[in-house]
Each structure stands twice: as C-alpha cells, then as structure tokens.
Structure 1
C-alpha cells in the first residue's frame, strides 16, 4: 500500500529543507519487531542536524536538546533514509535545526515522510566552551 492510499500516513508533496544525508537501513539497525530501531533514526537525525549547524556556525557544535521528535511511519531494512534540514532559529550561542526524514524503498519508488523533529546545538570554541554565533552578513 502506498502512502497516498493509507490515510494513517500523512503525506506532503516535497520534503522541507535541504537534503543533508542519505543512508541505507541495514539488518543490524532493527528492533525486536524487525523494524528499524528509533534510536538509530534519531542518531542519523542528530548527525544531519550537526552537519547543518556546523556549516552555519563555521565550527564545532554539541547537541544540547531534542526539542521535538515525532515518529510517523516505520522504516524497513533496505529503505534509503533521506534527512532534510533547515535552520529554524539562531540565538546568541545556540542554533535550532528543523529536520524531516523520508524513506524510499526498493519496492515502492514513492518516498514517505517517516520522522520530523527539532534539535538544538550550542556553538563551541576551540577550547570546548560555548561561544557566540556570528550572524552572516546580509
């Protein structure tokens, strides 16, 4: 059954944000039910969010919070997980990154949104302490 014919799985035309990472879900990433473990998905989202944050702040970051995370649909072994990110808010030392994860299976070329969330990172200096984020020039 495709996502467009299953009313339990919300659809939208295109992912929000920029494609940041793509990875394939493997058998070692499964939970006891045989679906991909939510912790694995969350770790992939954290990696993608950190990539976006590092590019924006121009240096090291550390994850300080997961403000929101929703699991919408299961991911299966062999699905390609694509994570899209955008900068949601920039503070003095912290940055909030919004994310959507979409999965595409070999059996169905239609991608479906499987997770969404907002992660917060703090910018770090070379000494490992938090530092001020320089705003980009207009």
Structure 2
C-alpha cells in the first residue's frame, strides 16, 4: 500500500506540482489548502507523513505542528516543513517545534522526494509511525 502524505500548501500550483511528483514516486498525496482543511484531513486512515507550509490561511504551520503533537493519535506522524521562510531562526524554530526536516522554497523535486524517503526510513525502520 502506498504511503499517504498530507500536503498542506495554500498555493495551488505548488501543491499540484508536489502532489504530481509524489504520485510519480509511488506515494498517495492528500491535499489541504489551509489550516482548517488540514485539521479536517487528520482522520483514519492517518497520513504517514505531513508536508507542511509555514504560512497558511487560518493558522500557521507551527500552530498545526503544535496541534498534532498534542493529540495521542497524531503526535507520531512525521512532519517535513516546505516553506519560503529560510532564515536560520525560522529553520531552527520549525525543527524545535517538532518538524522532522525543513526544506526551503524554491526546492528540487528530487531532493524533496529523497528527504521524504529518508524521514520515512528513520520513522518506519524504528517501528514507529503508522506503518502497515
């Protein structure tokens, strides 16, 4: 079964391109365009990973991380930030809030997929996450 990735991105062209790249690499993307739709996508079957923008309508990516880390059913889902906020302070803040990796825009689709696979290897090799 393909790993499910929740793609939380408010810019439709970026979201669509990311979903296309994920599909081409054997993942099953689930789309969310804002904070509220991302929260609404947090249900069974749970995503295996969340790809998350920082700046979203309705709330920030950091608020979303805090939300999922508070809930027992979602706290172990890995999060990869994909954002235009590339200052060192932003990257550190994202990682300290709970992101497992941090990628800045513009980005390479190949590197994006490689980083997603690396995070999943770490999470699922340890027996954690929501593996099947």
The two structures have a TM-score, normalised by structure 1, of 0.25
Higher relative contact order (CA 8 A, sep 6+): 1
The structure with more strand, counted as a fraction of residues: 1
| TM-score, length-scaled by structure 2 | 0.26
Whichever structure has more helix as a proportion of its residues is: 2
Greater gyration radius: 1
